[in-house]
Amino acid sequence: MRGPFTVEQVDRSRVTRRRITFFTLVFLFTSLATWFMADLLWRDGMMPLEWVVLVLFFILFAHIAVGFSTALLGFYVFNRERDPYRITRSIEGEALSDLPLATTAIVMPVFNEDPSRVFEGLRVIYRSLQLSGRLENFDFFILSDSNDPTNWIEEEVAWLELCKQLNGFGRIFYRKRRISINKKSGNVADFLRRWGRKYRYMAVLDADSIMTGESLVKLVAMMERNPKVGILQTAPRVVNGVTLYSRLQQFSNRLYSPLFLAGLNYWHQGESNFWGHNAVIRVAPFIDYCCLPELPGTEPFGGRILSHDFVEAALMRRAGWGVWLAYDLDGSYEEGPPTLIDSAKRDRRWCQGNMQHSWLLFARGFHPANRVHLLMGIMGYVASPLWMFFLLVSTIHTFRDVISGAYTHLHAESYTSIFGYLVEVPEALALFSFTLLLLFLPKIMGVVLALQNQRGKAYGGAFRLVLSALLETLASTLLAPINMMFNTKFVVYILMGQGVGWVTQKRDANDDTDWREAIITHAGQMAFGVVWGVSAFILVPSFFWWLSPVLAGLVLSAPISIFLGKASFGRQAREIGLFLTPDETEPPQELVRLQQHLAECYRHMPPLAPLRNDYGLLQAVLDPYVNALHVSLLRQRRGNREVRSYFIELRKKLLAEGPAELELREKMALLLDPESMIWLHEQLWKQPSEQLAEWWRLAMRQYNVLTATPVTALYR
């Protein structure tokens, strides 16, 4: 297909053929592997336990086959004249200055994030749009739900300084919700109710997102050229990894994800998915059709939907609007968690959200493709307990047959190793080889594709690329059983009715690895691996070697977690050229500027430790500049006499006894009350020092020291 293109030109019959091809591949791969497994199990007769093993194997191998088929189709796309049905073709070859745009709000919901990272990231995006010459079409909104007073106050100061330095008043806005309802999705919904109708599009970012001005302009232009597209999702690249774990994640993301993304676009087309950030949304249909339903019952399965993005994509598609993936658009970035434990904490939240989607699998009006997305999201976590159950049932099956004498050949010397068993049982060798092919061929294809496109130099050279890929494969093999155990635990907890709170994602990295947390977190996994391994080795040595990749990850889980969480090891790997990505060796200017700005911010010393915990409250009460700013951003409200009496008592208690004697909700209540903040500032400077708590006396003595490097300098 040549010439101008819009998504309305997509041949639906061809899309149907693509999906038939995809699901046929999944069926063929799964059927072939299941036939090999059935042949092995039938050798000694099919009992109920064997049927359980076979059914579990079929389900789990189908999950593997979906991923492999997607990568295989992606490899096919890259080895032909690209995919003619890609949405980026609708603006291909046009100059940035000629692209059609419309009013767009760039919204960034934040919750107790590092203010320096948030606002320096926004500065980079703002400057990039400015350099593109298309800034006049975009406004910025920081939507805060932070419940930490220090974060809240620093966000306000950072916003004011950013506006002053960029002349961004009237274009960069900050809003702090009084009541944080329904977490991130509720934050965005509140924005849309108040200001959404002023904008045709909304670009949603995470606190760690970076998007170039060029990518934002192109996304909006693609929406303008394709008026039936409701959501346009980019494929963010993981960047700025410091620890060895985060560097492994960004390397695998950069090397392997292009295959999977091209494959997804091949069969998704206009029924793709939404990942919640680094995407552009058409505001009007989103407001009209994407209101999230309240699920029956209570958490963890009921109540408010935690993972909103998949559901919003399904609702948008149900209303007749397309959801597309701009998989080949450059300039979209995000950051990943620095450690294995932090990644597991994030997965705990995602797990509950995806499990809630079980309510919606058969929702009225959803397209089949969206039901597949929801099912695959559920399987992303349910597969772990199923794998765990499969391995345990297989262990019981083997132990039973050995003890009963049914598999007397397992005691032969030739079967004391995995290699002997594979040689003597051709079906086992075929299944083993076929499974390895589906698991590791996508990685090989990713390396081949990088070398074919002469991108080896961008990964540190062909030798370092191959070596990094081998080491990443080894690491992912060890991490797989650890993640399996984590997800199994999460699913079991959810089935037992334990919900999850909204926690701030850790995004920074340092060498202060918490050994105690690592040992406590992984102790159960290590103990389970030891018991399982010893039992297998005593009863069936050959089966022990089959399990050895799983057992190694479990037994060594704590040392692996600590080792991969070291920032120093990550820096050493970068110095010797391991796990390099094109975004490091050929970084865009936006990422370079971000690192320069953050390095400048973090050069400043933090406040003294005794004052740190309530430093935001200190600023808002003590500093005239910050106090005036904070009060100006509050809504003026007056309560009844009883409410005012409550605030009067809180004020007196704060000055006389210090912040440590107040609960967090009491501090937040005072910070939300403009009258109290004005009174506290005046009285703090008027009252004799002996009437103030020692904490305030220390704060006032250090005031000159703290203002020698004013807080405003932290955001320049």
User: For residue 58, what are the contacts with CB-CB under 8 A and spacing of at least 6?
Assistant: 30, 34
- The residue written with tokens 């007196």 in the block is 652
Closest by CA position to 308, among listed 348, 368, 265, 357: 357
User: Against a cut of 0.85, is the pTM above it?
Assistant: yes
Question: Is the separation of the CB atoms in 325 and 261 below 8 Å?
Answer: yes
Residue 528 has pLDDT above 80, yes or no: yes
Lowest-confidence region among 212-216, 434-438, 498-502, 647-651: 498-502
Dist. CA 310–CA 275, nearest whole Å: 7
Residue 286 has pLDDT above 90, yes or no: yes
Question: Is the separation of the CB atoms in 518 and 561 below 8 Å?
Answer: yes
Closest by CA position to 62, among listed 281, 432, 376, 334: 376
* Mean per-residue pLDDT, 531-556: 85
pLDDT of residue 428: 66
Dist. CA 286–CA 314, nearest whole Å: 11
Nearest-10 crossing angle of helices 664-671, 641-657 = 110
* Mean per-residue pLDDT, 195-223: 95
Dist. CA 244–CA 474, nearest whole Å: 14
The DSSP secondary-structure symbol of 207 reads T
At 200, the pLDDT band (50, 70, 90 cuts) reads: very high
Q: Which residue has the higher pLDDT, 25 or 362?
A: 25
* Alpha-carbon torsion (121, 123, 124, 128), positive or negative: positive
Residue 127 has pLDDT above 60, yes or no: yes
pLDDT of residue 583: 92
Lowest-confidence region among 164-178, 418-432, 576-590, 672-686: 418-432
Residue 2 has pLDDT above 60, yes or no: no
Residue 354 has pLDDT above 70, yes or no: yes
Alpha carbon of residue 506 to chain centroid = 11
CA 267 to each of CA 13, 366, 411, 552, 634: distance values in angstroms, whole numbers, following the listed order: 12, 17, 49, 37, 49
At 422, the pLDDT band (50, 70, 90 cuts) reads: very low
CA 520 to each of CA 215, 481, 527, 552, 697: distance values in angstroms, whole numbers, following the listed order: 43, 17, 11, 18, 41
Residue 288 has pLDDT above 80, yes or no: yes
Residue 135: CB atoms within 10 Å: 18
Dist. CA 665–CA 260, nearest whole Å: 46
CA 141 to each of CA 107, 270, 275, 316, 326: distance values in angstroms, whole numbers, following the listed order: 5, 29, 20, 23, 24
Q: What angle do CA 318, 321, 325 make, to 5 degrees?
A: 110
Structure-token pair, residue 590? 């936006």
At 414, the pLDDT band (50, 70, 90 cuts) reads: very low
Residue 714 has pLDDT above 60, yes or no: no
Residue 546 has pLDDT above 50, yes or no: yes
At 4, the pLDDT band (50, 70, 90 cuts) reads: low
Provide the H-helix boundaries in 109-243. Answer: 115-132, 149-166, 183-195, 213-225
Return phi, psi of residue 5, to 5°. -145, 140
Alpha carbon of residue 121 to chain centroid = 17
Closest by CA position to 123, among listed 137, 108, 111, 102: 108
Question: Is the separation of the CB atoms in 205 and 332 below 8 Å?
Answer: no
Dist. CA 597–CA 162, nearest whole Å: 12
Lowest-confidence region among 38-47, 358-367, 637-646: 38-47
Per-residue pLDDT reduced to its tens digit, 100-111: 999 999 999 999
pLDDT of residue 350: 86
% of the chain surpassing 90 pLDDT: 56
pLDDT of residue 502: 45
- Whether cis (ω within 30° of 0) applies to the bond prior to 426 is no
Length of the chain counted residue by residue: 716
Dist. CA 140–CA 556, nearest whole Å: 46
pLDDT of residue 391: 85
Residue 640 has pLDDT above 80, yes or no: no
Dist. CA 558–CA 523, nearest whole Å: 7
- The residue written with tokens 């045709």 in the block is 200
pLDDT of residue 31: 93
Residue 715 has pLDDT above 50, yes or no: no
Residue 412 has pLDDT above 70, yes or no: no
Residue 66 has pLDDT above 90, yes or no: yes
Lowest-confidence region among 34-43, 212-221, 656-665: 34-43
% of the chain surpassing 70 pLDDT: 89
Secondary structure (3-state) at 421: helix
* Mean per-residue pLDDT, 22-37: 93
* Mean per-residue pLDDT, 677-697: 89
Dist. CA 189–CA 510, nearest whole Å: 35
Side-chain-side CA neighbours of residue 616 (13 Å): 22
Residue 174 has pLDDT above 70, yes or no: yes
Closest by CA position to 61, among listed 391, 396, 387: 387
> If you average pLDDT over every residue of the chain, what do you get?
86
3-state helix, strand, coil in the chain (%, to 5): 65, 5, 25
Dist. CA 395–CA 551, nearest whole Å: 13
DSSP string across 692-709: S-HHHHHHHHTHHHHHHS
The DSSP secondary-structure symbol of 293 reads P
At 195, the pLDDT band (50, 70, 90 cuts) reads: very high
pLDDT of residue 413: 44
* Mean per-residue pLDDT, 614-634: 91
Secondary structure (3-state) at 175: strand
pLDDT of residue 47: 75
Residue 228: CB atoms within 10 Å: 13
